[in-house]
Amino acid sequence: MSHYILELALWTLVIFLFGCLLGAVLRHLFGPDEVASRIEPEDEKPVTVAAPVAAPVMAEQPAVPAAPVVAEPAPVLRMERPKGLAEARGGKPDPLQRISGIGPKNEKILHTLGFYHFDQIAAWTPSQISWVDDHLKFNGRIGREEWVEQAKLLAEGAFEQFENRFGRKKS
């Protein structure tokens, strides 16, 4: 079977080389000078171009109202790392697990990033939320679970309002 493939490849190569040789001979016999003289007629007179004719002046049309402005896509937020603390104030961190969506593992990760208190999370800007979300691979979870809003209520001591809005969670 393999000898058929080899034979086919050799015949293809021979035909290709024959085509290249034939093309070279024909180009030599009927080179570019010969082809150019056949294309350009010798007895044709040059064409003169007339001056452009001015377009007729049209009556002034009333102004057409502008098309409605299409809203541009929202700008891509620049991600900014929020400032963390070297250690918890007073040596005691806030119980971040009170925020819905923060479990023991996430609390430890937040502590390693320097976030120990509710007021730190409450102060996050959208670009800082994007950074933390991207860093922790949460895919928008911080915004969906409203960590910043929860942290604001907990930092202010509005525990009753927090429980009414987000439900009761262990301290």
Q: Determine the pLDDT at residue 66.
A: 63
For residue 139, what pLDDT is reported? 85
Our measurement of the distance from residue 64's CA atom to the centroid of its chain's CA atoms, rounded to an integer in Å, reads 36
State the burial class of residue 72 (Cβ atoms within 10 Å of its Cβ: 0-12, 13-18, 19+). Answer: exposed
Alpha helical stretches, state H, 60-123: 104-112, 118-122
User: pLDDT value at position 29?
Assistant: 86
Burial of 120 (0-12, 13-18, 19+ CB in 10 A): buried
State the pTM of this model: 0.51
C-alpha 115/C-alpha 108 separation (Å) is: 9
Domain boundaries, the chain: 2-39, 89-166
pLDDT at position 82, please?
87
SS3 45: coil
Per-residue pLDDT tens listing for the chain (171 residues): 788 999 999 999 999 999 999 998 988 888 765 545 555 555 556 656 566 666 666 666 666 666 666 555 555 557 788 888 889 999 999 999 999 888 999 899 999 999 999 999 999 999 999 998 888 888 888 999 899 999 999 999 888 888 888 876 655
